[in-house]
Amino acid sequence: MSTRSAVRGYPDRRMRQGNRRWVFVIAGIVGLLLVTYFLRGHGAASKRGSPGTTAGATSGSFVTGPRVTPVPGASLRITGLVRDARGPVAGVSVSASRVEPEETLSERSCPPTYASPKARARLTDCWTEAHEELLDQVSAREGEARILAAATTEEDGTFVLDGLPEGTVTLWALGPEGAAKVHDVAAGRQDVVLALEDGHVFEGIVVQGVRNREPLAGARVTVFSHEHTRFFDATSDARGRFRIGPLPSTRYALLATADERSPRMLRDANPLESQVLLLERPSRYAGRVVSAQGAPAPGVHVRMLSPWNDMARYRTTTDAQGRFDFRVAGTHENKLFAQTAAQDAFATVDTGPREDLVLTLEPGVLLQGTVRDDAGRPIEGARISAVRMMDEEGLSETQRTVTDASGHYQLGPLLAVRTYVIARADRHLMESTTIDLVDGDTEPLDFTLSRAVSVEGLLVDEEGQPLAHKELRLHQGPMTDSPAGARVAVARTDDAGRFTLDAEAAGPGWLDVYDSDFLPGQLAVTIPSQEVRMVMHRGASVPVTVRNAAGAPLADVEVTLWKRDARNWSERARRTDEQGRATLQGLKPGPYVVEAVNPTRDVDQRASRPLDIVEGVNPEVALRMEEGRTLRGIVVDTRGQPLAGAAVRAHVPDGDTPHYRARTDDDYDVDGLETNTPKGVLTDDEGRFTLRHLSGPRHELWVDLEDHRVEPSRCQGVTSPWKHTLRVGSDVDEVRLVLRRMPHVRGRVVAEGGVALPSFEVNGMHSRLPDGRFELTAEEPGAWRLRVEAQDFAPLERTLTLDDTDVDLGVLTLTRGRTVRVLLRDAETGAPFNGRVRVDSGAQFTLPVTYRIRAEGAPEGPPYPDRHRAVPEQDGTLRLEHLPATAFTVELDVPLFLPLSRSVGAQEETITASLGRGARVSGHVRDAQGRPAHATIVFTRPDGTRDERHPPPGDFSFDSVAPGLYTASAYPVEDSDPTFFPNRSVTIPPTGEVTLTFDAAGSSVTLALRTEGDIDTVLLLPGQVPLPTSAKAAERLEILQHPFKQWEGLSLLYRRVPAGHYTLLGLNRAKDRIHREELDVPAEGTPSHDVRPVWSPLVP
């Protein structure tokens, strides 16, 4: 046990430790009885359904029941029943536990040095600061809530817990298919009902080695709860796999340990995805801290930040010889930081593992200066803060001070690094700067703070009670029906509800407050103002409870209040507490839908109810999840062999979602952002899986296994309306999913003579492995291209025909290649082009040529060759170096000319590139009054590729637009400019003249389209447009649609619509049906139109 844990807890802690021997004897006997009882109960429970895994059990290991520590002389009893949605459940382990102040981990206080807004911060709040203590305690299984009694439910689901002391306890029920937890159950209570929920299951794999991720058997994995700490253990099997659960739904952390490996601890264990836990061998970071004179420095605080180890921080203090020693996982570069106890000398270094490190302390830097107002008067009480900027190290710290009566301040000693310094004062504008602190003398840093014009006041509720710690925002400009204006200040009210917002300029302004407990508040003000009184209205509220089908409360479930007569408009959202309760506040009366969603690995469970909210407190809404139906299945490969570890999950097709949750055209996805979407249920060793709680007429199945793709045509029990889409109906109980393994292509890249390359790319993927090895996955069998590129070497391309088997290409040797001279000639004049151009001002610029090298006959598409740049010589010769010895195609992109593609033979050393300018496109861009307008002109091809031009305002003339059919668009340069230029469809010929004009739309109207049915995407297109033959063709028409549209409720408003004849297209959410009609838009008035879809089928 660590020294810190030995001094924590009650005064009688030592006595308890002294009496542990007899406690262990009793616990061993009780544990043996529980094992026997548990095994007998588990056999009964298995009769109820498919076998599951009890909390703590995993393949290759068996974990006994909870460690019971009975209280001598306690005699109270709790009796009860465990049930799920189908009735009583046998074989469930039930235990009663109790936390103890400053002894149970969840009840221990943070170190006194930890600053927290909470009245009492606990260890789980100061995770980073308490990392080592938590690691020590959990590793030693210290700090668990005391388990007072345990039992296993009988065949009728009943249980009896004996030997309980007076007071309340927390009951835990852990079964193979569910779990439950109930707080504050009084000892002596009879007939307690524990309703099981699905709970959390934590599973994954423990691996060793960064590259090959070899499974690690025998690793110990402990999951422990943040609140009311309980430990749940497993041991990884021969494949490194572990499984813990089901456990009651709450927040858990995870610790993984193994012999001769550094531990890995996660603050938040994620039950929605399979965890991959990498345990590495520890490396040593050791050495000495010495003074500037080289003498050992004892008693110095040394910290190490390890970004590669979940940003863990490690601390120690140097011994009498100034020595320190850290043992940390991996061989990564970490940051060491040393600081004297007086905080007047520092040292820092970034280093990999070493045992001879020397950190030399350097004296800190004193930063001082004076703060004055814009009239030169000193400001007393100005607040100065300095934040050292140490890149991303996470060791940044802030020092603060205030100025004296003369406006003078002094900060330090500070570490001599780049530092961000801020000066603030009431009713003055903030100033800040970044400086490089240097050893020795540092120039004074003075600040001049301009006097602000301030809005001061009080924020209260309807009863006049001050509202503390609420955020207000001040905007410059008048408050309109649709508030706009620059936000100039943000502040929070103090304990008395008072606020001060500082602005630069006087004039009209307005305040807004958005707080989940109140209706949105806005108030027009004059800048400056004093004694402003802003009243917030609580509006209506509605309490909501969420339970599962068995009646168990569901914690941490999101409850959303949707507007019933709108699309994808949520008014409020809250998460439920441990009792399944959430209260939605600050609501306007009206029609809504309240919905709860419980993401599980199987499916997103949803429960909803329409709701008409009235003023005041509304009656409680009870939402109950359906038990739903069960879908079973098996995942196999193309040979029929079962596939273990595949993730399978169901979701409701987009076309089946209710309209209030339907996506609008304003919604978008951002590629590359990680989400917390559950990753699915994992198949077992026999490839089997079970999805529970499915409701609704149909679902789509998502299946994922590394290096595999689904083969819809070979699957059974599903349909495939779209590529790689698997759809299953409510009448199907079992499916067979077939996955095809994607072949791997591997090899080794070297330079001539077998020399290793420092870096290279294979199909766009960088590789820096010292031996030049690479391995890629080909998504589809058939023709597949490999492209290898490295700086100063000729690219290498190969076309392979792949089946299901892997391919080893052996050693691929890159050569320096050859050089080809390209003579750039203007096709019209024959003159050389050397890239030197002169603009109207007389200045001369050199424009580089961009080129790509593609193997002869290689089709367009990935892998795409790298783009290179070169500057022509004075005589128009472009030297292309490091080219393949075989024939190839060069693609030239020469400024002011059309793109050119030219084949180059294997023996050619010089070629001539005849550069054409293409057709000349001339025209103008004018506003509604006929004045020159400044706009960006964009040419968009049917395939979506774009060519942007940036002409001056008014008339334009340019060439080098590639021949083809385009949609030409003009967009105002200024985003705030509301001018609308209708799109033009234009065909650019290879040569000749093209006239293209953009005149801003003059008179226009707002067109309201009232929709009904399954309308999702709406396109308003000028003129007569034929019915698209496919969803892809309809998507290509989006560039032609009228751009200014916005959903308001279930109506779609098109603004600034010029008069004329239009085609209206509407697609459903599934994108498999389309509606078409034509309508005329008048030049004035407020036209509206009801869209009643008449559907036609649409292919993908």
Q: What is the pLDDT of residues 259-269, one digit of tens each?
A: 999 999 999 99
Q: How far is CA 819 from the centre of its chain?
A: 47
Q: What does the DSSP assignment read for 143-207?
A: SPPEEEEEEE--TTSEEEEEEEPSSEEEEEEE-SS-EEEEEEEETT---EEEE-B--EEEEEEEE
Q: What digits encode the pLDDT tens for the residues 833-890?
A: 998 887 766 778 888 999 999 888 777 767 888 889 999 999 999 999 999 999 999 9
Cis peptide before 246 (omega within 30 of 0): yes
**Contact criterion met (CB below 8 Å) for 849 and 902:** no
Fold of 3-199: Immunoglobulin-like (2.60.40)
Does residue 943 have a pLDDT over 50?
yes
| CATH number of this structure's domain 818-915, picked from the four choices 3.40.50.450, 2.102.10.10, 2.60.40.1120, 3.40.50.620 | 2.60.40.1120
Q: How confident is the model at residue 417 (pLDDT cuts 50, 70, 90)?
A: confident
Does residue 6 have a pLDDT over 60?
no
Q: How does 739-776 read in b/e, with b if 16+ C-beta sit within 10 Å?
A: bbbbbebebbbbbeeeeebeebbbbeeebeeeebebeb
The token duo for 1081 is 């838009």
The residues that bridge with 334 in the sheet, in sequence order, are 351
Rounded Cα distance between 78 and 97, Å, is 12
Q: For the chain, what's the residue count? A: 1100
pLDDT averaged over the chain?
87
Rounded Cα distance between 966 and 979, Å, is 22
Mean pLDDT for 92-118 is 86
If DSSP codes are grouped into helix, strand and coil, which group holds residue 656? helix
**Given the DSSP bridges, would you call strands 471-476 and 507-513 parallel, antiparallel or unpaired?**
antiparallel
Rounded Cα distance between 867 and 750, Å, is 22
Rounded Cα distance between 916 and 911, Å, is 16
Mean pLDDT for 734-749 is 94
CATH for 744-814? 2.60.40.10
Q: Which has more pLDDT, 2 or 610?
A: 610
Q: How confident is the model at residue 15 (pLDDT cuts 50, 70, 90)?
A: very low
Q: What digits encode the pLDDT tens for the residues 1050-1098?
A: 889 998 898 889 999 999 888 889 999 999 999 899 999 999 999 999 8
Among 270, 278, 239, CA closest to 254: 270
Q: How confident is the model at residue 984 (pLDDT cuts 50, 70, 90)?
A: confident
pLDDT of 58 reads 43
Q: What digits encode the pLDDT tens for the residues 601-654?
A: 999 999 999 999 999 889 999 999 999 999 999 999 999 999 999 999 999 988
pLDDT of 121 reads 79
Using a 10 angstrom Cβ sphere, with 0-12 exposed, 13-18 middle and 19 or more buried, the burial of residue 869 is exposed
Helix (H) or strand (E) holding 38: helix 20-45
Among 171, 177, 176, 168, CA closest to 194: 171
Does residue 40 have a pLDDT over 80?
no
The token duo for 250 is 């709450």
Does residue 145 have a pLDDT over 60?
yes
Does residue 340 have a pLDDT over 80?
yes
The token duo for 34 is 């529980």
Task: Report CA torsion sign: 1004, 1010, 1013, 1014.
Answer: positive
Q: Which has more pLDDT, 835 or 311?
A: 835
Q: Which amino acid is at 1076?
A: R
List, edge to edge, every strand of the sheet that includes 252-257.
231-235, 220-225, 252-257, 264-266
**Given the DSSP bridges, would you call strands 76-84 and 192-195 parallel, antiparallel or unpaired?**
parallel
Does residue 228 have a pLDDT over 70?
yes
- Name the CATH architecture for the domain at 454-535: Sandwich (2.60)
List, edge to edge, every strand of the sheet that includes 453-460.
498-503, 453-460, 529-535
CATH for 629-667+675-741? 2.60.40.1120
If DSSP codes are grouped into helix, strand and coil, which group holds residue 138? helix
pLDDT of 116 reads 64
Weakest mean pLDDT among 33-37, 457-461, 658-662, 781-785:
33-37
pLDDT of 59 reads 41
pLDDT of 692 reads 95
Weakest mean pLDDT among 74-78, 565-569, 586-590, 731-735:
565-569
Q: Which has more pLDDT, 455 or 131?
A: 455
State whether CATH 2.60.40.1120 applies to domain 285-362. Answer: yes
Q: What digits encode the pLDDT tens for the residues 180-216?
A: 999 999 999 999 999 999 999 999 999 997 777 799 9
Residue recorded with tokens 């020294």: 3
Q: How confident is the model at residue 74 (pLDDT cuts 50, 70, 90)?
A: very high
Look at phi and psi of residue 762 and say left if phi exceeds 0, alpha if psi is from -120 to 50, else beta: beta
If DSSP codes are grouped into helix, strand and coil, which group holds residue 1031? helix
Look at phi and psi of residue 1071 and say left if phi exceeds 0, alpha if psi is from -120 to 50, else beta: left
Does residue 154 have a pLDDT over 50?
yes
The residues that bridge with 1011 in the sheet, in sequence order, are 1091
Does residue 61 have a pLDDT over 50?
no
Residue recorded with tokens 């910290």: 303
The residues that bridge with 422 in the sheet, in sequence order, are 385, 432
Rounded Cα distance between 590 and 236, Å, is 54
List, edge to edge, every strand of the sheet that includes 93-98.
146-152, 93-98, 168-174, 179-186
pLDDT of 481 reads 52
Does residue 587 have a pLDDT over 90?
yes
Model-wide pTM > 0.85: no
Q: How confident is the model at residue 4 (pLDDT cuts 50, 70, 90)?
A: very low
Rounded Cα distance between 436 and 384, Å, is 17
Does residue 14 have a pLDDT over 60?
no
Does residue 1048 have a pLDDT over 90?
no
If DSSP codes are grouped into helix, strand and coil, which group holds residue 1038? helix
Residue recorded with tokens 């209280």: 71
Mean pLDDT for 767-791 is 86
| CATH number of this structure's domain 920-999, picked from the four choices 2.60.40.1120, 3.40.50.1220, 3.40.50.11540, 3.30.420.40 | 2.60.40.1120
Q: What digits encode the pLDDT tens for the residues 1004-1047?
A: 899 999 988 788 889 999 888 899 988 888 888 888 888 888 88
Among 699, 722, 719, CA closest to 652: 699
- How many Cα atoms within 13 Å fall on the side-chain side of residue 614? 3
* Eight-class DSSP state of 627: -
Query: Which residues, at least 6 apart from 402, have a Cβ–Cβ distance to it below 8 Å?
Result: 381, 382, 383, 384, 409
If DSSP codes are grouped into helix, strand and coil, which group holds residue 410? strand
Q: What digits encode the pLDDT tens for the residues 344-376?
A: 899 989 999 999 999 999 988 889 999 999 999
**Contact criterion met (CB below 8 Å) for 134 and 105:** yes
Rounded Cα distance between 577 and 363, Å, is 51
If DSSP codes are grouped into helix, strand and coil, which group holds residue 998? strand
Q: How confident is the model at residue 122 (pLDDT cuts 50, 70, 90)?
A: confident
The token duo for 191 is 């007939």
What percentage of residues in the chain have a pLDDT greater than 90?
A: 64
| CATH number of this structure's domain 364-449, picked from the four choices 2.60.120.10, 1.20.1250.20, 2.60.40.1120, 3.40.50.10190 | 2.60.40.1120
Q: Which has more pLDDT, 1048 or 190?
A: 190
**Contact criterion met (CB below 8 Å) for 123 and 49:** no
Rounded Cα distance between 388 and 417, Å, is 7
